[in-house]
């Protein structure tokens, strides 16, 4: 966390409403995430909860699919390739509920640790519903570094103490925050402290297509000043942080939705673009890649090589592209896209 500023005169709340606010040290998993150094492994869309605020897209929720960041994958080997493409130094394992597929989750953690080493930091999210002692012990055995409970029911809160007693990983909770949820947040914070956990993350409640209708029915509205978030979430978080700063000793951290989009994802794209660029692609400061294309040729000239959808790709040098287009009767373009495996979605295609 680079920003260290006191908010509203409360000496122990540091940060910025758009970058995150904390009352204590950031969990290690958040530090790496801030720099775009965490890969997000969506290990399954299966989940036995049905939270009205669930922001998971309907193409993932309830389906047993695996994604690493934006990429659909089907094997541990592909997971490793994607983590490497990003140059991540850690991973967050999320879902759905990862503990609904415990063998897969444990295998992935174990293989990531074997391949990238013990310092590769892994944190995992779970409702706690399936966090039994044998499963928690297995997670410890394979080297899970941090577990974050999202206790969808009060009964699951006791799983936090079960995990804490094993003393092999950092234990905390992560829950959404919006107006009306301050009481729940305080209860979870108290329980995490009592159970021996070390942090609670409050996620600014997202207002996105999958949950918009359910949120509207409960009277929530989108904040016009903080797009894609529930109006009043920041203020609700501030109330809880102020209370926490003088009532508990564990760290409470507010994670703004805008941070995920503008900083975390952008940093991740920048890193992936730099590492994954081919000889003809130029990484941009926005985290995209730019290259030149000649289209309509049967064979590529020696200055270019065959690439996506039958095009010939080369560096995005306008004059060279125009010259080659004239010489070979081709159409020349400059293309900009995100650094996904198939370079989609395309951000812009400009014909020269």
Q: How far is the CB of 61 from ligand SF4 (least distance, A)?
A: 6
Q: Specify the residue, 56 or 236, whose C-beta has the smaller distance to ligand SF4.
A: 56
Cα 308 to chain centroid distance, Å, stands at: 28
Q: Specify the residue, 128 or 256, whose C-beta has the smaller distance to ligand SF4.
A: 128
The residue from 15, 96, 287, 316 that contacts ligand SF4 (CB under 6 A) is 96
Q: How far is the CB of 183 from ligand SF4 (least distance, A)?
A: 19
Q: Does residue 98 bind ligand SF4 (CB under 6 A)?
A: no
Burial 269-304 (b: 16+ CB within 10 A, else e): bbbbbeebeeebbebeeebbbbbbbbeebeebeebb
Residues 131-170: x where in contact with ligand SF4 by CB under 6 A, - otherwise, as a string: -------------------x-x------------------
Q: Specify the residue, 38 or 150, whose C-beta has the smaller distance to ligand SF4.
A: 150
Q: Specify the residue, 187 or 327, whose C-beta has the smaller distance to ligand SF4.
A: 187
**Binders of ligand SF4 among 22-51, rule CB under 6 A?**
47, 49-51
The tokens for 292 are: 């030149």
Count of residues making up the chain: 352
Q: How far is the CB of 143 from ligand SF4 (least distance, A)?
A: 24
Distances (CA, A) of 350 to 77, 130, 295, 321: 36, 51, 13, 12
Separation between Cα atoms, residue 260 and residue 266, nearest integer Å: 9
The tokens for 65 are: 């699919």
The count of residues interacting with ligand SF4 (CB under 6 A) is 12
Q: How far is the CB of 60 from ligand SF4 (least distance, A)?
A: 9
Tell me which DSSP letter residue 308 carries.
Answer: G
Run of H or E including 142: helix 133-142
Q: Specify the residue, 203 or 281, whose C-beta has the smaller distance to ligand SF4.
A: 203
Q: How far is the CB of 51 from ligand SF4 (least distance, A)?
A: 3
Q: Does residue 54 bind ligand SF4 (CB under 6 A)?
A: yes
Separation between Cα atoms, residue 350 and residue 283, nearest integer Å: 17
Q: How far is the CB of 178 from ligand SF4 (least distance, A)?
A: 13
Peptide bond before 345: cis, by omega within 30 degrees of 0?
yes
Residues 196-215: x where in contact with ligand SF4 by CB under 6 A, - otherwise, as a string: --------------------
Tell me which DSSP letter residue 205 carries.
Answer: P
Interface with ligand SF4 by CB under 6 A: which range of 95-103, 156-164, 177-185, 279-287? 95-103
Q: Does residue 56 bind ligand SF4 (CB under 6 A)?
A: yes
Closest alpha carbon to 256 in 177, 168, 197: 177
Separation between Cα atoms, residue 180 and residue 177, nearest integer Å: 8
Q: Specify the residue, 151 or 283, whose C-beta has the smaller distance to ligand SF4.
A: 151
Q: 3-class DSSP state for residue 318?
A: helix
Q: How far is the CB of 240 from ligand SF4 (least distance, A)?
A: 19
**Binders of ligand SF4 among 222-261, rule CB under 6 A?**
none
The residue from 40, 44, 86, 127 that contacts ligand SF4 (CB under 6 A) is 127
Q: What share of the chain is helix, strand, coil (3-state, %, to 5)?
A: 35, 25, 40
Rounded to the nearest 10°, the torsion over CA 38, 264, 148, 124 is -30
Cβ of 264: how many Cβ atoms within 10 Å? 20
Can you give the binding site for ligand SF4, defined by CB under 6 A? 47, 49-51, 54, 56, 95-97, 127, 150, 152
């Amino acid at each position: 966390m680079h920003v260290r500023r006191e908010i509203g005169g409360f000496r122990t709340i540091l940060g910025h409403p758009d970058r995150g606010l904390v009352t204590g040290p950031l969990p290690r998993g958040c530090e790496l995430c801030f720099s775009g150094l965490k890969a997000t492994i969506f290990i399954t869309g299966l989940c036995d909860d049905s939270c009205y605020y669930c922001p998971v897209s309907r193409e993932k929720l309830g389906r047993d699919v695996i994604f690493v960041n934006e990429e659909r994958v089907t094997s541990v080997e592909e997971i490793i390739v994607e983590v490497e493409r990003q140059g991540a130094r850690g991973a967050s394992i999320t879902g759905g509920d990862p503990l609904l597929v415990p063998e897969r989750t444990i295998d992935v953690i174990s293989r990531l640790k074997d391949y990238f080493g013990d310092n590769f930091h892994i944190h995992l999210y779970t409702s706690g519903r399936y966090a039994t002692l044998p499963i928690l012990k297995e997670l410890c055995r394979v080297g899970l570094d941090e577990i974050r409970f999202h206790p969808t029911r009060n009964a699951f809160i006791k799983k936090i103490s079960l995990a804490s007693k094993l003393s092999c990983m950092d234990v905390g909770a992560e829950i959404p925050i919006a107006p009306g949820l301050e009481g729940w947040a305080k209860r979870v914070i108290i329980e995490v402290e009592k159970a021996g956990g070390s942090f609670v993350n409050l996620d600014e409640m997202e207002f996105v297509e999958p949950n918009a209708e359910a949120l509207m029915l409960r009277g929530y509205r989108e904040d016009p000043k903080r797009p894609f978030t529930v109006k009043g979430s920041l203020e609700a978080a501030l109330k809880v942080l102020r209370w926490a700063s003088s009532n508990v000793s564990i760290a409470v951290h507010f994670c703004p939705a805008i941070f995920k989009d503008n900083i975390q994802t952008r940093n991740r794209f920048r890193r992936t673009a730099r590492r994954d660029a081919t000889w003809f692609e130029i990484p941009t400061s926005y985290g995209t890649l730019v290259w030149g294309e000649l289209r309509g040729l049967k064979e590529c000239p020696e200055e270019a090589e065959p690439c996506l959808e039958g095009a010939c790709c080369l560096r995005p040098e306008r004059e060279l592209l125009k010259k080659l287009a004239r010489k070979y009767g081709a159409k020349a373009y400059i293309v900009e896209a995100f650094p996904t495996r198939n370079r989609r979605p395309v951000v812009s295609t400009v014909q020269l």
